[in-house]
Amino acid sequence: MSVVEVVRRGGRDIDCLDPGRGGGTSSQANAVPTQLVPELETLPTPPSLQTALKNRNPRSTPSNASSSYQLAKMFIARSEYDRGINTFSPEGRLFQVEYSLEAIKLGSTAIGVATSAGVILGVEKRVTSTLLETSSVEKIVEIDRHIGCAMSGLQADARSMIEHARVESQNHAFNYAERLRVESCTQAICDLALRFGEGAEGEESIMSRPFGVALLIAGFDEDGPS
């Protein structure tokens, strides 16, 4: 009986040598012209070869180009869903919402403590550059005389929300001759935060994306500190 030897390179059966037909030996497998036998392609890969293929350097193999192509294809497919705020990915994700949450996580730490005498707000102040004036970094702002808030996330988004809260507070005081409650101020800010994307029926959208900021609102009204 003849013995067929298979030389595997890169996980494929590329050389097949039959010593009984070609008169060669196993040491001549790489030198003698061979013919591929299709039936041998189904042979299982030895465990030692599986380990070698698993630990090989991808930079030295042609599969690196294939991996780069697959990576680029993945980013192209993702870009189809991360621009539209109302477009779900095949996995059911809204990338714009996730991006806003990541911006909040990268922000400063803010804490609030409510006591019987009032409310205390504290925010970590980060100075990331020597060219940045420390006094210009404001993370605690006043909405009205009885309401304040601490912010964490994108300051540009925070300014838009705070300005909206100030307008709502002044309009309420002008129309009803009373101070705006802290809960009502928070509700007005939440209504603005949800007005992104295409907008509701009869309402114009304010932002093309979600706000990347979190506000910790505190104040004192007829219900006490909150």
What is the pLDDT, as a whole number, of residue 169?
94
Q: Is residue 81 part of a domain?
A: no
The 10s digit of each residue's pLDDT in 26-71 is 444 444 444 444 444 444 555 555 555 555 555 544 445 565 655 5
Helix, strand, or coil here: 104?
helix
Burial of 79 (0-12, 13-18, 19+ CB in 10 A): exposed
Q: Same domain for 42 and 130?
A: no
Q: Same domain for 42 and 123?
A: no
Q: Please, which pLDDT band fits residue 166 given cuts at 50, 70 and 90?
A: very high
Q: Is residue 92 part of a domain?
A: no
Nearest in space to 113 (alpha carbons), one of 123, 124, 101, 122 = 122
Contact 141, 161 (CB under 8 A): no
What is the pLDDT, as a whole number, of residue 217?
94
Q: Is residue 156 part of a domain?
A: yes
Domain that holds residue 32: 5-56
The 3 state secondary structure assigned to 3-47 is CCEEEEECCEEEEEECHHHHCCCHHHCCCCCCCCCHHHHHCCCCH
Q: Same domain for 125 and 202?
A: yes
Query: What pTM value is reported for the model?
Result: 0.59
Contact 173, 179 (CB under 8 A): yes
Q: Is residue 61 part of a domain?
A: no
Q: Is residue 47 part of a domain?
A: yes
Q: Same domain for 119 and 39?
A: no
Q: Is residue 69 part of a domain?
A: no
DSSP string, 156-225: HHHHHHHHHHHHHHHHHHHHHSSPPPHHHHHHHHHHHHT-BTT--TT---SBSS---EEEEEEEEETTEE
What is the pLDDT, as a whole number, of residue 122?
92
Nearest in space to 159 (alpha carbons), one of 179, 136, 141 = 141
In the listed set 56, 78, 95, which residue is the last one of a domain according to the structure? 56
Place of tokens 């939440």: 190
37, two tokens:
């036998």
Q: Is residue 103 part of a domain?
A: no
In angstroms, the CA 110 to CA 214 distance is: 9
Neighbours of 98 (CB within 10 A): 13
136, two tokens:
């210009």
- The pLDDT of residue 15 is above 70: no
The 10s digit of each residue's pLDDT in 108-121 is 889 999 998 889 99
Q: Checking DSSP bridges between strand 12-17 and strand 5-9, what pairing results, if any?
A: antiparallel
The 10s digit of each residue's pLDDT in 177-197 is 999 999 999 999 998 888 876
- Helical (H) or strand (E) element with 111: strand 110-114
Q: How many domains in the chain?
A: 2
Q: Same domain for 40 and 117?
A: no
In the listed set 56, 72, 87, which residue is the last one of a domain according to the structure? 56
Q: Same domain for 113 and 212?
A: yes
In angstroms, the CA 180 to CA 174 distance is: 10
What is the pLDDT, as a whole number, of residue 43?
47
Report the residue count for the chain. Answer: 226
Contact 173, 181 (CB under 8 A): no
